[in-house]
Amino acid sequence: MTVTIKDTVLVSKPDSLYYSAYIDCVNNKPVLRNPEQKNTKGIKADVKLQDGRLIVDAQTEAQNLFLKWKEKYEKQHSGQVKIKPVPYPVIKEIKVPAELSKWEKWYLGVGKVVTWLLLGALLTIIVKRLWKASFRL
């Protein structure tokens, strides 16, 4: 059986985004004051202040490249999956005798009798000790 796994590595340069702004309240609505944005090349940042919520959406060039590559890869390889059966070893059945022999039945019977005798003896000893302990008081 041969399994081939192909992987594509996308290398991108390190990138960063810095955004700083003061939020003031004008007519009971938040407003950004003195916004300052610093970023490296290849980053597209969209900054919004909606309903008192600051949203910074940053996209890098590497993410866009990966999404384009993924769409192209999925289109090329959709429907090309081939299922190949893998053979496995067949284990032959082991025959087990269906009935016990006379000796095995006898040993089982003797084991049951001995077990019940031991349990009876143990129970008798426990009852006698409890009986004697109850009369000592």
Number of helical (H) and strand (E) elements in the chain, helices listed first:
2, 4
Calculate the alpha carbon distances from 120 to 6, 113, 116, 117, 127 in Å. Answer: 72, 11, 6, 5, 10
Look at residues 39, 36, 45 and name the one whose alpha carbon lies nearest to residue 14.
39
What confidence score (pLDDT) does residue 128 get?
Answer: 93
Give the pLDDT means over successive 10-residue stretches in the chain (137 positions).
54 69 82 78 76 76 66 69 70 76 93 97 95 79
DSSP E strand stretches across 5-112: 17-26, 29-39, 43-50, 53-60
pTM here is 0.33
The predicted pLDDT at position 7 comes to: 59
pLDDT for residue 78: 67
What's the pLDDT score for residue 1? 45
**pLDDT at residue number 106:** 95
